[in-house]
Amino acid sequence: MIKITFPDGSVREYEKGVTGIEIANSISPRLAQEVLAASVDGETWDLTRPIGHDASVRLLKWEDEEGKHAYWHSSAHLMAEALQILYPGIKFGIGPAIENGFYYDVDPGEGVSIKESDFPAIEKKMMELIAAREDIVRKSISKTDAVSMFSDRDENYKVELINELEDGTITTYTQGSFTDLCRGPHLPNTSYIKAVKILSAAGAYWRGDEKRPQLTRLYGITFPKKKMLDEYLVMLEEAKKRDHRKIGKDLQLFHFSQTVGSGLPLWLPKGTQLRLRLEDFLKKIQREFDYEQVITPHIGHKQLYVTSGHYAKYGKDSFQPIKTPEEGEEFLLKPMNCPHHCEIYKAFPRSYKDLPLRLAEFGTVYRYEQSGELHGLTRVRGFTQDDAHIFCTPDQVKDEFLKVMDIIFIIFNALDFANFEAQISLRDPDDKEKYIGSDENWEKAERAIIEACEEKGLKTKVELGEAAFYGPKLDFMVKDALGRRWQLGTIQVDYNLPERFELEYTGADNQKHRPVMIHRAPFGSMERFVAVLIEHTAGKFPLWLTPTQVVVLPVSEKFNDYAFDVVKELKKFDIRAEVDDRNEKVGRKIRDNELKRIPYLLIVGEKEVENEEVSVRKQGGEDKGSVKLSTFAEEISREVEEMMNRGN
């Protein structure tokens, strides 16, 4: 017999070799119908995998991320099986579960393409395989046998992956006639999947290398109920309407030019206004928290990033070195701001009395992203981070971490990001080559983050292997108006860069000590944050932030002078206003400016001129009637002030 411990602390005994589905059935037949996978001592297992030792077990359902992952991973295999039947000779790359659904990279063969018109046939075949209730069977084989099996099937992509694995046991999963190299976990059989949809097809280079073959990446999604799929497809349609690329063009916020270069956004006047307002908002908060603003160059000597470790970790993702014509020195476009800030710290001797030292910069950095990975403002090659680095003593780490959390909460409140989760990203203890620094420093840094979150009473989830290479971090995952998750805001504790740059301060004991470094970016990158904000608000920005708050609409040309006088008066209250003096009917002007998401429209005619009033129409069609111009200006100023102070 073995002892199984459940999340509530209760313990039950089962025969050795019991499976997750058997445990679920012993608790409740209804639970057995809902459970998708099992967490055994923190590792996600198939429900049919025997448990041979005392273990802590959590049964995973659709509501659990691990449950969804197993469901969508199995769905990727289901799609691959359908493709294998429909496209004889097709070869398979990788097919993982992703945040919303799954994809599979496939090579359908020379001269063969998979188009959107083919999706219904693929979906139909998937539904047939679901109805067949095929068991999904896990098997362990040797590396030699795995190479032999996939070589016989001419699966060269799989063979390449297997050859890179360490010698030892390899797992495969089989359903029907389809077998895949896979660690799992998977559903017990195909019947668990109820509703399927192939979403799109795109090109993807094998292993992300532009010099390797281009495969077809098929995206799909599945659900345990058709109603859930229908709701998701409605959400996707709404997401298309909210696409920041479309709205950004409509509102004239930013532009991309192939002449300038892919992934390098050009901020237009209205977009620049919006972005600068966000920057000014954060700068004001930073002044209240005693940050000092700095500016660093857009390039740095290659050795700077060698010292920091960024070159070793991210050199291949950086723009290649720029060599000086005569001296032959090598410089890089700046991939990160933190090494520059370390050098600012080193500019003068530091005492414990100088700490904490908080350096902030809206610093533009550059990363080489492959053209296929670029996507509007969310994935670019040049972006500006709202970066800051806090240098402090070990005793100050937790307090400083808590203060940064306060800043992030102020920003989220002011911008109505009320729905968010906090994720503690730790290193993977089994993959130490991925990280730099001693175990002792990592343990101290991880403990500081965990204690700060506990002190705030912040509910968190822990993700192993998601830490930065130099330290653990706390990431904030925000859900937008459509329920999509975005990573916004990050705080990282770093004992390692101070070591690498030999940073010091003189302590009260008159001895030299190493400071601790906290990396902090509440927005993350200005580009990505603006993209998320556009899609969250559908372009209807908070009044304090929107580039144009008011448009004045004269009902005819003879009232244009009064309209411009209104704008002049509003500017005295720091209200951003424009006149729409086109020779159009007022109804057309209203429709056009509604489409531009203008918060307030002021209609002026003879009556308004006589009474020094404006007729107020709020975004969405709400008619608020006529009011004195001064009254309107005071109300708007008050509304803006209340919005901006909501987070404090």
When mean pLDDT is compared across 185-189, 394-398, 506-510, the lowest value belongs to 394-398
Helices 65-86/119-131 angle, 10° precision = 110
Give residue-wise pLDDT tens across range 585-629.
999 999 999 999 999 999 999 999 999 899 999 988 788 899 999
* Catalytic residue status for 77: no
Catalytically annotated residue among 73, 302, 338, 549: 338
Residues of the chain with pLDDT > 70, as a percent, come to 99
What mean pLDDT comes out for the span 553-564? Answer: 94
Q: What's the pLDDT at 396?
A: 92
For residue 208, what pLDDT band results from cuts at 50, 70 and 90?
confident
Catalytically annotated residue among 217, 350, 358, 367: 367
For residue 575, what pLDDT band results from cuts at 50, 70 and 90?
very high
Q: What's the pLDDT at 459?
A: 84
* Catalytic residue status for 385: yes
Backbone angles phi, psi at 621, to 5 degrees: 100, 0
Collapsing DSSP to helix, strand or coil, 181 comes out as: strand
* Catalytic residue status for 487: no
402: which 2 tokens? Answer: 């808590």
Distance of alpha carbon 338 from alpha carbon 445, whole angstroms = 17
Asked if residues 513 and 504 have their Cβ atoms less than 8 Å apart, the reply is yes
Q: All domains of the chain, ordered by start, with CATH?
A: 2-61 (3.10.20.30), 69-235 (3.30.980.10), 254-295+351-537 (3.30.930.10), 297-336 (no CATH), 550-644 (3.40.50.800)
Q: Who contacts 618 (Cβ-Cβ below 8 Å, separation ≥6)?
A: 599, 600, 601, 624
For residue 207, what pLDDT band results from cuts at 50, 70 and 90?
confident
Give residue-wise pLDDT tens across range 53-86.
999 999 999 999 999 999 999 999 999 999 999 9
Angle at Cα 115 formed by Cα 112 and Cα 121, nearest 5°?
Answer: 95
Distance of alpha carbon 62 from alpha carbon 154, whole angstroms = 36
Q: What's the pLDDT at 567?
A: 95
Give residue-wise pLDDT tens across range 426-480.
888 777 677 777 778 788 888 888 888 888 888 888 888 878 777 888 989 888 8
* Catalytic residue status for 338: yes
Give residue-wise pLDDT tens across range 12-23.
999 999 999 999
Q: What's the pLDDT at 324?
A: 82
Pairing mode of beta strands 55-60, 37-40: antiparallel
For residue 646, what pLDDT band results from cuts at 50, 70 and 90?
low
This prediction's pTM: 0.81
Catalytically annotated residue among 197, 341, 381, 473: 473
Give the amino acid at 377. L
Kindly tell me if the per-residue pLDDT of 301 is higher than 90: yes
Catalytically annotated residue among 84, 385, 423, 549: 385
What mean pLDDT comes out for the span 244-249? Answer: 95
For residue 163, what pLDDT band results from cuts at 50, 70 and 90?
very high
**Binding positions:** 338, 389, 519
Distance of alpha carbon 375 from alpha carbon 357, whole angstroms = 36
Angle at Cα 626 formed by Cα 625 and Cα 629, nearest 5°?
Answer: 135
* Catalytic residue status for 473: yes
